[in-house]
Structure 1
């Protein structure tokens, strides 16, 4: 089972291919960086002690039991003692523990109802994918929702939900919806969650508290919602586990990563924010002073007036050590640090406002102004003020939240000034981190940081001022970034092109939940709630427990994102089968990603059989000299193996990097296959999808066109390169599989699963597969010869296994190189795989490869 989010900091390691750590500083095997209690990054993953809810082993999930009872597969009466014996979680609400949560009782009762509901399911779904099944009545849908509990009760290492095979159920897996008129059926309270309303012009701020992240009325209803909803009950308990973890764990030591102007103290700032958030939530729910004391302790450490025992000397024990000037304790030279520290103070000040003494309020507010808001004026002209993407969202977000938190208590006018300046700058930059098709401007991993900054600021604006103040509407395409994230995730991990960023800590994908609420798009909310990072105090304020259905119902398996900077496509055989097939491929332009991109035009990834067979290596050394300085052809960035052409799943021309900063052309086609109300999708014979790109400009005028296509009912992949080259090329993919070479075929084996890769065209040449290690020829070209902070990151997986490169050496000439990827599915033999038709990429169409 996966490590709890708060202990892993959700680094998002790609299974098989390991992402780089944020720096080369080691993580303690016993905890967070510089402190205690979690998992390691950059080396072998170390499992943290599992909390109570992770220790129990269940043979079946809530969903399984409900469906089995409804279908008559088990005796309902026999389930009751099962639930009574198994479930007795120490749910903490107020000061009294609750025995069996109300949601469990609801599941038991609904199982009886399910005997009637379930008996009709087979008749409802004559279509194998249930695409044509009628929507259930709201009452039936509510009963199914209660009986199901959580769809997924575990995730893999990348946070992808592990779903059981629960077949077809048109009531439980209905099209996504909000059951807004079913409060009684869902056992939900009637709540007033309306944001404030004002007359007059200009921004006005409510005096209601709390207001950071959500309205006060939501807090008043949380306990009843937790009793009624399985997801909120699980998140609530997990947040209490997290709060206890932080009570037992000191604030991390003040050890700048690569110096204050390198990566600074960003990890410490985000870890402290996690602590303040969970402890503040726990106090609001229980009024237990131990949680308030925990918040006060963290704020005093952050404020530099109390030492942390995690430090080993005076400098590492005291926050602010080494900064120049009396008011620079939060390191404004690396303003991300400042913004995240500001968020901690904004949350602590607002969520515990009524419990602080006047002296405590004055100290928190004065510290926030001195170390945060006084460094936030536009006149400072920070570089990120003119950039879209994560820096702008995080920095402006911290400023917006801080200004809102102290609004009526600030008599200087500074809060109003900062709010207006930060809001206008965010509307001009942050919101355009999402391009017209929703693709995030930097990379798929930096999406987390940008959208987390955006969502916290936007939710606080709604709760404080009555509306989103243009954070959602200024860029009319911003909402599409939720689709970008959903399609970017494969069956095992993300399509992790480019840099994979620092440790996550506070960064989650819960912007999908807020976007689902604000755009009334239930599939966004349903998708995110099963993810490992859904457990978060802000999610408790954004999630709508009226949401029901299956997010995948009627969602196309394929999608093309056509913005010219990335031009990428996503294909899969199922949304819910973790062992299914997934492929993603990109072209685009290597510039315009805020120096977080790679020389990766034509890059792709493949998942199948629960493994990633062709993957990404992630970030190199963030502290390396000039790593972020340029995306130009001669940029030192490309000297790192992970950033240059040789470290991608692309063609390498004449053993040199590809041409940087040039555009590509791409095309896409799909049969538009959807999954429907089932976890067991039946793929039609003519189901397919394809992507083609003309990437000639990346290869110095040598004609190169690449295409990827799904074949054989989405069980096989064709990768084709039509090449006319005046010098040698090399075909390359990075893999952690063990490779066995057989001339024009290669057998890959990974964690007990197998894939065969075949050269199907040309068959009458000397082209054969080869194998190399995933490493540069030498480190001589790296700054300082790869010494110290310029060192290369070893290309190994989380178990220390080396990454291999499957290659084909291609002499100068003209070729149509066709490679067939053939996962060795159960029940399929070599005769079941197709030899693809030889069709020029320019002639590809939906039906071009039909037999």
Structure 2
């Protein structure tokens, strides 16, 4: 038996290698001539028709061309690295080249071609594209591949040779070096971005390096299935809102390029949960326009071009409700910052803003590595209530100690907020050990990252358990009592025997947050915290009035009966922490006796609901399922 086991163990690397080298695209490959990436020859005509028939797309087309005109006298990018990253330059390179190549394809104006060529040659002359931080290479390779492919017939032979060599030597070849390609085995955004970039490079120079190109494309298809598995089962993206915009967009760029070049995405879009992720992203934005920005996320989103790909794929324009708002309200200065913006012109399929209707469902829940529940009182009322609630684990990529946290909008104000991310370089440059996720690591001393400043519990003044994992145990879309419950016990199991939190949107009028705890054989101190940008006025021991922008919200502790509300500063404790002006924490602490059951029930009541009848909140076991 031992001999058989040894034999099987010896074969494992062989099986793994064979699996990694699966020939997805086959040996008889016939690719279109250049241009072959995303937009084939002659497909510009469909975009021109859309631009001619629809004012929204005419405006967007004009914005892209105007930005290209503004780039004419701007010097090409220089290789200036900031800390460990060249990423800012790679992203600007992708933005410039994608914009200029689009302008050339659509107008055939020589000035766009020559300006893009100048940028391509400058980037191709860099000493390298910083393979030690391979995201930089991934984005730069995509940039140069799009430029090479789309401008191919307008480039001089000398320019083509220089650009082609750079794609090979500075993009693809470093990806074959094990020193730089650990991203092939990870399940996060690095995999999606780097594999997309490498596949673009391979598509661009396919005719010159057919065997290598096939190997790279097959590798990308096999490898990207790893992070795509994390969309299973419902589409919730483990890394949160901003990294959805990064990882998923590049994933869609990869799939779209494969579909265009080979007529197939080799089953990628059929990966469980992937097509459902568009609904996750749409539901993550509240009526304030702000995202549920848990983990390392920004607060304000922008137009997501990949949402048009999803809406087109699923034949569901309602997925574009939030994008509709961006199209109608965002200015050109916001659009032109998006380095993937030209792709929206490719994927819009001519959808008209007026044909986009609001989604039918007011609540969306997703399981997976970072489960979330997202509910609202209306999609069309700008004063609507929005409640976002999360479980998950601090051990996830880019996660914070925020299991059990929530955000809330009402009357156009984000009352319960999340700081989201702090700029990495601002921490790394001061020597912070940012990426060490061990329980006692410095990462969790960063003010914005630990549970003390999130809208969750702190028990016995301790950090949440990094290896803990809070699962959603139930939810209900019942309109009069939309709710979700998460078991937080694994996050706090060093302090209590049980910790469960439920949040509810009651009668579309106010919010309930209820915690139920079972203590160990020792007295337990529990702190309930909510971070807010509002002014806080304590009205009594159990009630506070929050005011902002002329609006009002009442925070009322229904139980325990004896509680004293208080506030805590958000002044950062370390010199490396970001400043947090205009914010404060409000909440309370209670002493729970040993071996006891304790319930904490807090109501968040918008001004117009103050006179609404509010029945006593039931135990979680009686909540509508």
* Matching residue within 362, 373, 377 for 2:176: 377
Q: Is the counterpart of residue 793 in structure 1 residue 581 in structure 2?
A: no
Q: Post-superposition shift, 1:761?
A: 2.5
Among candidates 399, 402, 411, match of residue 600 of structure 1: 402
Equivalent pair of 1:435/1:441 in contact (CA under 8 Å)? no
1:254 deviates by 3.7
Q: Distance in 1 between matches of 2:308 and 2:219?
A: 27
Q: Which blocks of at least 5 consecutive residues in structure 2 are unaligned?
A: 1-24
Which structure has the higher relative contact order (CA within 8 Å, separation 6+)? Answer: 1
1:435 aligned partner: 232
Question: Is the counterpart of residue 397 in structure 1 residue 196 in structure 2?
Answer: yes
SS in structure 2 at match of 1:642: helix
Post-superposition offset of 1:794? 1.4
Structure 1 distance, partners of 2:543, 2:355, is 40
Q: Which residue of 2 aligns with 1:528?
A: 323
Partner of 1:308: none
Please, which of 616, 641, 653 is the counterpart of residue 459 of structure 2? Answer: 653
Q: What SS is found at the alignment partner of 1:241? A: helix
> For 1:728, what is the secondary structure of its paired residue?
strand
8 Å contact kept, 1:231–1:529? no
TM-score of the pair, normalised by structure 1: 0.64
Aligned equivalents of 2:96, 2:474: Cα separation in 1: 45
Assess, with a 3 A threshold, how the Cα gap between structure 1 residues 812 and 672 changes in structure 2: closer, same or farther.
Answer: closer
Q: 1:660 to 1:380 in 2, by over 3 A?
A: closer
Question: Where do 1:603-752 residues align within 5 Å?
Answer: 603-620=405-422, 622-623=424-425, 624=428, 625=431, 627-671=433-477, 673=479, 687-699=480-492, 700-702=494-496, 703-711=498-506, 713-725=507-519, 726-743=523-540, 744-752=542-550
Alpha carbons 2:285, 2:322 under 8 Å: kept: no
Distance 1:424 1:380, change over 3 A: farther
Specify the alignment match of 2:553 in structure 1: 755
Which residue matches 1:128?
none
1:816 corresponds to: 599
The structure-2 alpha-carbon separation of the partners of 1:723 and 1:388, relative to structure 1 and needing over 3 Å to count, comes to: same
Shift of 1:274: 0.6
Deviations 1:179-200 (A, max 9, x none): xxxxxxxxxxxxxxxxxxxxx9
**Residue 303 of structure 2 contacts residue 323 of structure 2 at CA under 8 Å; is this kept in 1?**
no
Deviation at 1:627, TM superposition (A): 4.1
Q: Is the 8 A contact 2:393 2:399 kept in 1?
A: no
C-alpha distance in structure 2 between counterparts of 1:671 and 1:388, whole Å: 31
- Which structure dedicates a bigger proportion of its chain to strand? 2
Partners of 2:303 and 2:179 lie apart in 1 by 29
**In structure 1, what is the equivalent of residue 623 of structure 2?**
844
- Given that 1:589 and 1:601 are in contact with CA atoms closer than 8 Å, whether structure 2 keeps it comes out as yes
Secondary structure, in 3 states, of the residue corresponding to 1:334? coil
Measured in 1, the distance between the counterparts of 2:79 and 2:154 equals 29
Q: CA deviation at 1:469?
A: 2.4
Matched ranges for 1:409-428 at <5 A: 410-411=208-209, 413-427=211-225
Contact 1:528 1:534 in 2 (8 A): no
For residue 541 of structure 1, what is the aligned residue in structure 2?
346
| 407 and 562 in structure 1: CA distance in 2 versus 1, 3 angstrom threshold | same
Match of 1:618, SS state, is coil
Superimposed CA distance per residue, residues 629-688 of structure 1 (whole angstroms, 9 cap, x where no aligned partner): 333322321111111110211111122212221233433443455xxxxxxxxxxxxx33
Q: Partners of 2:274 and 2:216 in 1: how far apart?
A: 24
Identify the match of residue 295 of structure 1 among 116, 126, 134: 116
Structure 2 residue 274 is matched with structure 1 residue 478: yes
Secondary structure in 1 matching 2:241: coil
Return the alpha-carbon distance in structure 2 between the equivalents of residues 717 and 288 of structure 1: 57
CA pair 228-762 structure 1, distance change in 2 beyond 3 A: same
CA distance in 2, matches of 1:755, 1:723: 27
- Conserved 8 A contact 2:193-2:251: yes
Change in 2 beyond 3 A, CA 1:502/1:693: closer
What secondary structure is seen at the aligned counterpart in 2 of 1:704?
A: strand
Equivalent residue pairs, number:
577
Q: Specify whether residues 243 and 836 from structure 1 end up closer, same or farther in structure 2 by C-alpha distance, changes over 3 A only.
A: farther
For structure 1, the residue ranges without an aligned partner over 5 or more in a row are 1-199, 305-318, 321-328, 674-686, 780-785, 847-851
Q: 1:573 aligns with which of 370, 377, 382?
A: 377
SS of residue matched to 1:278 = helix
Q: Say whether 1:454 aligns with 2:237.
A: no
**Maintained 8 Å contact 2:121/2:159:** no
- Once the two structures are superposed, residues 190-237 of structure 1 have per-residue CA deviations (whole angstroms, 9 ceiling, x without a partner) of xxxxxxxxxx94462423332222333421222222111233212111
Instruction: Say if 2:31 is the partner of 1:209.
Output: no
SS in 2 for 1:734: strand
Please tell me the root mean square deviation across aligned C-alpha atoms, in Å: 2.6
CA, structure 1 residues 502+372, in 2 after alignment: closer, same or farther (shift >3 Å)?
farther
Distance 2:325 2:44 in 1: 23
**Cα distance, 1:717 vs. partner?**
0.8
Displacement after TM superposition at 1:379 (Å):
5.0
Q: How big is each residue's C-alpha offset from its partner over 1:439-464, in whole Å with a ceiling of 9 and x where there is no partner?
A: 11322211111112111111111111
How far has the Cα of 1:269 moved from its partner? 0.8
The answer for the alignment partner of 1:490 in structure 2 is 286
> 3-state SS of the aligned residue for 2:527?
strand
